[in-house]
Amino acid sequence: MKELVILTGYSGAGKSTAAGLLEDLGFFCIDNLPPEVAYQVASLVSQSVEKLAIVVDVRSYLLGDVTAAVREIKERFKFAKIVFLTAKKDVLIQRFAHTRRIHPLSKQASSINEAIDLEIELMKDVMEIADIVIDTSHLNPHQLREKLTKLLTESVHGTAKSFVVHLVSFGFKYGIPLDADFVFDVRFFPNPFYIPELRQKDGRDPEVKNFLDGVEGVNEYLNRIEMVLKFAISRYELEGRNELTVAVGCTGGKHRSVYFAEKLAEFFRNAGYSVTLDHRDVALG
């Protein structure tokens, strides 16, 4: 076996879409194994399949210690990747209301709200050790497939031994990315939105960049962020992690956050890191 993915996450966050993508990518998918037998099954099929995906639903968390099972698999198969799909609570509630599906924990809870809270509590330990966390709150199925394909390709092929920095710019009024390891706020700098000639532009335009380049404290803040992240990366690498997701937010996600994310992307590329860059809300701000 060359590739092993453990796919888990919250109900309604897109596991079915992700599992379908993994099958399209040639993975042999096994769904809802009891935790106690997950390692044995992975070992059993390791000689006969090149790519295996184990999909872990919340119901598996009721059957045994999923965290221990996942750790056991990771110890045996060093190349295994844990993919965790998350989403904002209100988005999950809306999705269940739209599809009219019953939450898997409906028998253990008195409401959908309580069921989601219970699910979050059950899954918190596995989420903390996940290699890839994807917030699907703002993703449609096509975008989820695209993002997962990109992350898995970077994680499994070619760049597995080089550290990957994922940078996301966003607007606070649209919500903080739930998959971010670090969130930096840049709302305390002057907002180009209030300058008429800059309002319709974004942080990638030369006029906005020139404006922010001249704002006192911008370079100092960038330098401090870079220092913090370089230190964090060194510690993550000691723990065996090979990627980091950094979110930079301003009010609308169009000017300041985009500018800072672009600057950080340039810095880390020049420092030899692999970098992905996503301006999540640039079209909305």
pLDDT digits (tens, 9 = 90+) for 223-277: 999 999 999 998 888 776 788 999 999 999 999 999 999 999 999 999 889 899 9
- Report, as an integer, the average pLDDT of 82-111: 92
Query: Which architecture does CATH list for 3-156?
Result: 3-Layer(aba) Sandwich (3.40)
**161 annotated as belonging to a binding site for a ligand:** no
Check residue 27 and give its pLDDT. Answer: 92
Residue with token string 């056991």: 72
**9 annotated as belonging to a binding site for a ligand:** yes
**12 annotated as belonging to a binding site for a ligand:** yes
Model confidence, pTM = 0.68
- Report, as an integer, the average pLDDT of 192-219: 96
Distance, in Å, from the CA atom of 224 to the CA atom of 50, rounded to the nearest integer, reads 44
Check residue 101 and give its pLDDT. Answer: 87
Check residue 4 and give its pLDDT. Answer: 94
DSSP secondary-structure letter at 279? E
**57 annotated as belonging to a binding site for a ligand:** yes
- Helices within the chain (DSSP H only): 15-24, 35-45, 58-61, 66-76, 89-99, 112-129, 141-156, 206-213, 218-238, 256-270
**Spatial CA neighbour of 120 closest among 107, 102, 145, 103:** 103
Check residue 285 and give its pLDDT. Answer: 63
**171 annotated as belonging to a binding site for a ligand:** no
pLDDT digits (tens, 9 = 90+) for 170-180: 999 999 998 89
**217 annotated as belonging to a binding site for a ligand:** no
Check residue 159 and give its pLDDT. Answer: 44
* Burial call 96-125: b when 16+ CB within 10 Å, e when fewer: beeeeeebbbeeeeeebeebbebbeebbee
Check residue 39 and give its pLDDT. Answer: 85
More confident residue, 187 or 26: 187
Cβ atoms of residues 57 and 15 within 8 Å:
yes
**CA atoms within 13 Å, Cβ hemisphere of 85:** 30
**58 annotated as belonging to a binding site for a ligand:** yes
Check residue 90 and give its pLDDT. Answer: 93
**59 annotated as belonging to a binding site for a ligand:** yes
pLDDT digits (tens, 9 = 90+) for 10-69: 999 999 999 999 998 889 999 888 888 988 888 888 888 999 999 998 988 888 899 999
**Spatial CA neighbour of 245 closest among 120, 162, 151:** 151
What would the two tokens of residue 101 be?
């599906």
Check residue 154 and give its pLDDT. Answer: 67
**Angle made by CA atoms 138, 260, 269, in degrees to the nearest 5:** 95
For the chain, where do the domains classified as CATH 3.40.50.300 start and end?
Answer: 3-156
**162 annotated as belonging to a binding site for a ligand:** no
Name which of 83-97, 153-167, 181-195 the model is least confident about. 153-167
Element (H, E) at 30: strand 28-31
**155 annotated as belonging to a binding site for a ligand:** no
Name which of 5-9, 95-99, 207-211 the model is least confident about. 95-99
Distance, in Å, from the CA atom of 136 to the CA atom of 140, rounded to the nearest integer, reads 8
